[in-house]
A and B are shown apart, each in its own frame.
Chain A
């Protein structure tokens, strides 16, 4: 299974209700613990501030090419807060002062 199989996939319950599309996959200690699904928007994608419904991975019944099927009415946590800060230290390059052009 790949991330590309999950991301953007439609989420449906066994009852046939649609819960939007997957736009985030949460991992803890290397394990997948939840998906976030929702209508999503280009602004959310650009700002990496995805709001929506967090669905525990244990509620996922099936992953198919057409949709991800979850239990009816999965316990939800509406994600409202922006994504938590992570250290974003990059690589170093040889240092020397510079100019524009």
Chain B
């Protein structure tokens, strides 16, 4: 039974948080890539994660502001990586292997690793 057995991808998948194999948060389902064409077979191909995925979801000027603040990076999470869809989307791999923790890892280098109990 796959995660995409019977699902409404607007109300039950879009904008859900994503957690990786180690249950770490690694983004939100910002858009969904579909393969195929009108009327012919169309399949869920990948989840799109990152500010670059906002382009189809907001007005041009809004996306321009988003791009200036956050850039336009976008990660593609192949549909086969999804193991479960509930109140979060669970993946079978670690975030790093899917290119999902790049910014988190960059910022981590700025945070001193001392003092916290």
Contacts and interface: CB of A to CB of B under 8 A. Distances in A.
The answer to whether any beta carbons of A and B sit under 8 Å apart in the complex is yes
Interface of A: 1-7, 23-32, 48, 50, 57-63, 68-69, 83-84, 86-92
Interface in B1-59: 2, 4-12, 14, 19, 23, 31-39, 41-44, 48, 55-57
B10 A1 contact: no
| Interface size, B (range) | 35 or more
B66 interface: no
25 contacts: A1-B33, A1-B34, A2-B32, A3-B9, A3-B10, A4-B55, A4-B56, A23-B10, A25-B8, A26-B8, A27-B4, A27-B7, A27-B9, A27-B44, A28-B4, A28-B5, A30-B4, A30-B44, A58-B39, A60-B38, A83-B8, A83-B11, A86-B7, A88-B87, A90-B87
